[in-house]
Every structure is written in C-alpha cells, then in structure tokens.
C-alpha cells in the first residue's frame, strides 16, 4: 500500500488530521490498535476551547457539537465558604468554552471519515516505524506494509511513535504531582450551571458535566489510589464535604457508572519531530487536567501540522514542516504553565504548612478580586488565539 500520510492513532488528533488532509486533497491511512467500539466509548476530556470548537465547525464536523454541546460563559472558584465566578462573557467577550465529551468528538470524526471513504483500520497490531529519515514506511499485522511520505504519531503517551525515535534525539521535560484524580460519571443532572473548581482543606474537587442528565466529578486523592477502595457512598460523602461549602448549594446524587484514577503529571518532549515523523497530542505532551488543555492542545498541533503538510505537498517546500515543533511548543509551554498554575492554586500538598496555605488563599483572593488577574485566567482557559 501507499499513501501520502500514515497516521498512527484514531483519537481526536489522528482522526482530525486525516479529515483536514482529505479536505486538502491529501491521502492518509489511519492505523488504530483498539476496536472502533473501544475508541468511541473511551471517556476523556470534555471541555473544548473556543478555537477547538471553531476548528471542528469549519471542518464540517460540528453539527452535533453545536446542537448537543453545552456552551459555558464562565467557571466558579469555590473556597473559604465563598463562591466566585470568572465571567468569560465579561472578561473575554465573544469567547467561551463548550462542554462536549471527547468520545463524542471521536464519533463525529469517525462518521465523517467513513462517509468520505476514509481508510481507518481498527484492531491493528504490531505497528512499527521504519526509515524515518529517508523514505518512511510502516509495518503492521501479518507483514503488511504502508509506504508514505510522512508519518504522524498521534498514538498517545504510551504509543509506539515516540519510542521509535533513536535515543539521544529527544529531550524530555516532566513533573509528577504528589496526588491523582479520582474521576466518576454519574446519572444525575448537574447541580450547577457551570464547572465548579473547589479548594478545601481536604483537597480539591471539581463538579463538571457531560450532558443535562450526566454529571462528571473529580476528587483529589493519593497517587496509586484503587477506585475499588472508593464505594459510591464514600465518593458522595467526600464530594459533599468538599463542594457543599457555600450557602444554598446541595449536591444531587445518583447512580455512579464509571470510576477511574488519573495520575497528575506534566510532560513535554522536544523536538516534536524527527526526520519525517511528526508527533501530535499526547504522544508529544501531557498536561495535568486542571486547566482542561489536553484535547485542545492536540487540536492545535493538528492545525499547525495540516498547514505544514499542505504546503509541503503543494509546493515541495519543507519550511513549515521544519518549523512544526517550534510553532507548536510555544503554545504547549503556555498550556503547561497555565495547567501547573491552576493545579497549585487549588490543590492541597502534603508539604503545605500554615504559611503555604495562607499564600494559596492570598493568591485566590487576588484572582477573584482583581479584574486583570481574572482576565488572565479567563483568556488562558477559553484558549489563546
């Protein structure tokens, strides 16, 4: 087989890249190790920046997003028995976020690619990358081979793309946080109209949502926590303790149908390319989820890579491809900083002393009382241009 771009991974990055390239007349094949059902059911992020929404709509895959997504014009910071709204509509007019599950984005993209005759191969095993500096090709399955001009590694943090780069080429920057998130999905209407970020002495909690009938919650827990150690009753009791801290707020409860634990870490690899291999999304960077940047960074990478590939195949010039890492990493590091900032602003740390806790509250007071500080939070949260 031969194609112009071989894409590893049928997550949002790989699928969106394939779709955008198709619209530019550039051929691609997507290889995915999991089944279509698994990919479409895999629960991940749910907050889409303004730029991500605009990209999906312009790509013609935003109809259901616009119909079913939940636009939000702000978020709530809750601490010290008080609630403070960061109003996007006031601070960054014309820009907002939309709550729409990553798995729904994936469903929309798969449907669009199949309708357009796209080549997505699910349940592909033994993918290997070859000849990355010359004439790249992929092998997979029972000796099948895919020749291509470029390989896009969109296969996540644990994929095969990044480890295929020779030792010593990539520099890795990473930070592990001393806690994790216990995330749950529950069949209960949200108890708030917008996301609630709550700081308490018992740890961080987040009230989010996926639809008018499904709510998403997160609890700060120790790293290595086993979800099995958290029966439903314990989860609801802890969420109530951390969220029911302001007058008049009562947390509605319901059936919990999914539990998972997410480690908190920051990770960046530089550069995001080697030869004719280009990394995008989680294959190149991970952010703690506090700032809601993971999926949005992947979409931003794909926008840059699409323009570079379009130029390459149209003119033969590799200038934009050569500058791919440089263009992406500026945004990646801004998102890393914002995610670190949100994480340290709202979580408790084992090393905290009274002095550290007072500094944290002082910082929160500044963010919620200064329009300039609140604007900085808002413009980063809704996504930079």
Distances 351 to 178, 179, 347, 354, 357 between C-alpha atoms, Å: 10, 12, 12, 10, 10
Catalytic residue among 12, 136, 288, 289: 289
On whether the CB atoms of residues 49 and 296 are closer than 8 A, the answer is yes
Q: Which of 173, 136, 128, 180 is nearest to 3 (CA)?
A: 136
385 is catalytic: no
Which H or E element spans position 6? Answer: strand 5-8
Catalytic residue among 19, 33, 72, 347: 72
274 is catalytic: no
Q: What does the DSSP assignment read for 308-348?
A: HHHHHHHH---HHHHTHHHHHHHHHHHHHHHHHHHHHHH--
Catalytic residue among 100, 137, 274, 381: 381
CA distance 169 to 143: 28
Q: Which of 35, 285, 263, 41 is nearest to 157 (CA)?
A: 285
Catalytic residue among 79, 100, 197, 218: 197
CA distance 285 to 295: 11
On whether the CB atoms of residues 315 and 260 are closer than 8 A, the answer is no
Catalytic residue among 137, 293, 324, 347: 293
From the number of C-beta atoms within 10 Å of its C-beta (0-12, 13-18, 19+), residue 253 rates as middle
Residue 309: both structure tokens together: 């590939």
CA distance 70 to 56: 15
177 is catalytic: no
Side-chain-facing half-sphere of 73: CA atoms under 13 Å: 6
With a CB cutoff of 8 Å and minimum separation 6, the contacts of 142 are none
36: left (phi over 0), alpha (psi -120 to 50) or beta: alpha
337 is catalytic: no
293 is catalytic: yes
Active site residues: 72, 197, 289, 293, 381
């Amino acid at each position: 087989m031969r194609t112009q771009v071989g894409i590893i991974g049928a997550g949002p990055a790989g699928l969106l890249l394939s779709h955008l390239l198709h619209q530019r007349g550039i051929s691609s094949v997507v290889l995915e190790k999991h089944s279509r059902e698994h990919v479409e059911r895999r629960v991940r992020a749910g907050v889409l920046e303004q730029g991500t929404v605009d990209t999906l709509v312009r790509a013609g895959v935003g109809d259901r997003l616009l119909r079913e997504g939940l636009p939000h014009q702000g978020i709530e910071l809750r601490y010290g028995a008080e609630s403070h709204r960061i109003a996007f509509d006031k601070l960054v007019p014309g820009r907002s976020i939309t709550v729409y599950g990553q798995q729904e984005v994936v469903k929309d993209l798969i449907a669009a690619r199949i309708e357009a005759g796209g080549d997505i191969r699910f349940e592909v095993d033994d993918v290997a990358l070859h000849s990355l500096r010359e004439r790249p090709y992929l092998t997979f399955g029972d000796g099948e081979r895919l020749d291509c001009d470029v390989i896009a590694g969109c296969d996540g943090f644990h994929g095969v793309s990044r480890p295929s780069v020779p030792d010593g080429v990539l520099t890795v920057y990473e930070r592990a946080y001393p806690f994790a998130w216990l995330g749950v999905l529950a069949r209960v209407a949200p108890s708030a109209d917008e996301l609630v970020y709550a700081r308490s002495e018992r740890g961080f909690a987040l009230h989010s949502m996926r639809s008018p009938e499904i709510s998403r919650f997160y609890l700060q827990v120790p790293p290595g926590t086993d979800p099995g150690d958290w029966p439903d009753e314990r989860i609801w009791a802890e969420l109530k303790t951390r969220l029911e801290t302001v007058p008049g707020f009562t947390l509605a409860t319901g059936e919990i149908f999914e539990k998972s634990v997410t480690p908190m870490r920051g990770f960046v690899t530089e550069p995001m390319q080697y030869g004719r291999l280009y990394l995008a999304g989680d294959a190149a960077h991970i952010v703690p989820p506090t700032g809601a940047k993971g999926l949005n960074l992947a979409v931003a990478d794909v926008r840059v890579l699409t323009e570079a590939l379009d130029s390459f195949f149209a003119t033969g010039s590799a200038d934009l491809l050569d500058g791919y890492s440089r263009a992406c990493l500026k945004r990646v590091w801004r998102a890393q900083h914002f995610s670190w900032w949100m994480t340290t602003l709202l979580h408790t740390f084992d090393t905290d002393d009274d002095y550290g806790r007072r500094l944290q509250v002082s910082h929160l007071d500044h963010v919620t009382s200064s329009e300039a500080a609140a604007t900085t939070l808002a413009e980063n949260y809704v996504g930079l241009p």
